[in-house]
A and B are shown apart, each in its own frame.
Chain A
């Protein structure tokens, strides 16, 4: 009989195997002539890939978009405009699906999230407008560089399960940003508070701009800022990051919708697949260590970042 820990791990393992089988097939298909490929093959492949991404995205503390955009722009035949638009919706859907559970369990905190989401949402609108105005090769190259920087950030940066916060800064104290969450792996309640709120607000404005520019979501940056800069516990950081994404990506997504950069045939199967995966991923967050799938995510991002860079530079059309 399997225990509670082994079932999520088994699911993750099977998802990783499915993904590992699917991606090389897509890479081959992307390079193959279009003539023999029926229109429904790509949406179906998108659905399967996004389901797996949804399962791993929430426990990794990322929105799904950071995996979606480089992988889909690298291995699928869609224009980057539509991929970025769909990427925002994918990250958004993943965050929306996980949001109610994260809020009800206290893993996402409203008072921590709202001020950060406000500045990030404004940045995301600006980023989306800039991204849609730039030449695609520039955006693709910058995307590749950004993804490789994210890989370096995820590889090198340390996270802290329970950072030491000697006392709240004046802004955090005024806004009463603190809380208690129940850590199921430790079996006890954990009280937390934050510091360096003004610096975090500045960083979130920049993170929002990158999210809108590349359609990436922004969990990859949200979690380090919440955890390492503000001192929120890792689980609260991951949960609140997902919730912030639901607000930030909404603002940028509207820019893409209004500019016609959202194709239902690309976005719908991606979103449905990601949401179904995220329902499972949100439940895994409470029972597995957040770092358990980190290596898998880093390897996927490294491959996708190199592919995006090669495509943008014209080395691999």
Chain B
């Protein structure tokens, strides 16, 4: 197996090309879900958690007040409401925010095979930081 790929006469590391490939797919998946969700949201194909006409009087509120007024909760609560257009759009945004995690994990076998433990650790730690942020634990007050 080739350790590198050749692009425009420049040798690009195989793991970098692998990262680019996974990122390409995960980014496009997020974009498709986002675009489909948003289209369904604004066209009325899917119902909205918050009526579209109410948004202009709500989007000027702080996030905490918005949640309180609309009766919504933060965290991953949107996951239970994927049948609504705004939650499906949010799922697309969450996919984009999480797009780098599979890319980082895809690097691990390549780094391990080359016994590049420094970069194996860095990639693993970075993936861990992203998963920790996604978990909602930072800033959680019970």
Tell me whether A182 is interfacial, beta carbon within 8 Å. yes
- The smallest C-beta distance from A128 to any residue of chain B, in angstroms, reads 8
Q: Could you tell me how many residues of chain B have their Cβ less than 8 Å away from some Cβ of chain A?
A: 70
Q: Could you tell me how many residues of chain A have their Cβ less than 8 Å away from some Cβ of chain B?
A: 67
Identify B34's interface contact among A115, A174, A258, A268, CB under 8 A.
A268
- The smallest C-beta distance from B16 to any residue of chain A, in angstroms, reads 5
* Cα separation A141 to B104 with both chains bound (whole Å): 37
Residue ID in chain B nearest A246 by CB atoms: B100
Identify B75's interface contact among A42, A181, A258, CB under 8 A.
A258
* Cα separation A42 to B60 with both chains bound (whole Å): 13
* Cα separation A104 to B12 with both chains bound (whole Å): 7
Identify B97's interface contact among A100, A136, A181, A253, CB under 8 A.
A253
Instruction: Indicate if the CB atoms of B122 and A247 lie closer than 8 Å.
Output: no
Tell me whether B139 is interfacial, beta carbon within 8 Å. yes
Chain A residue contacts of B27, Cβ below 8 A: 96-97, 99-100
Chain B residue contacts of A39, Cβ below 8 A: 52-53, 55-56
* Cα separation A235 to B52 with both chains bound (whole Å): 43
Majority secondary structure, B binding face: helix
Chain A residue contacts of B126, Cβ below 8 A: 114, 117-118, 121, 247
* Max chain B Cβ within 10 angstroms of own Cβ: one of A85, A105, A258: A258
* Cα separation A136 to B34 with both chains bound (whole Å): 29
Chain A residue contacts of B83, Cβ below 8 A: none
Within 8 A of A (CB), among B42-91: 42, 52-53, 55-57, 59-64, 66-67, 72-76, 85-87, 89-90
**Binary interface profile of A, 76-97, with partner B (CB < 8 Å = 1, else 0)?**
0111011001000100110011
Tell me whether B35 is interfacial, beta carbon within 8 Å. yes
Binding site for A on B (CB under 8 A): 7-13, 15-17, 19-21, 23-24, 27, 30-31, 34-35, 37-38, 41-42, 52-53, 55-57, 59-64, 66-67, 72-76, 85-87, 89-90, 92-94, 96-100, 107, 118-119, 122-123, 125-126, 129-130, 132-134, 136, 138-139
For this complex, 28 residue pairs linking A to B, each with C-beta atoms less than 8 Å apart, are A39-B52, A39-B55, A40-B52, A79-B62, A79-B66, A89-B96, A99-B27, A105-B10, A106-B8, A114-B119, A114-B126, A125-B132, A125-B138, A175-B119, A182-B9, A246-B23, A250-B97, A255-B133, A257-B94, A259-B139, A260-B72, A262-B90, A262-B93, A264-B87, A265-B86, A268-B89, A268-B92, A272-B35
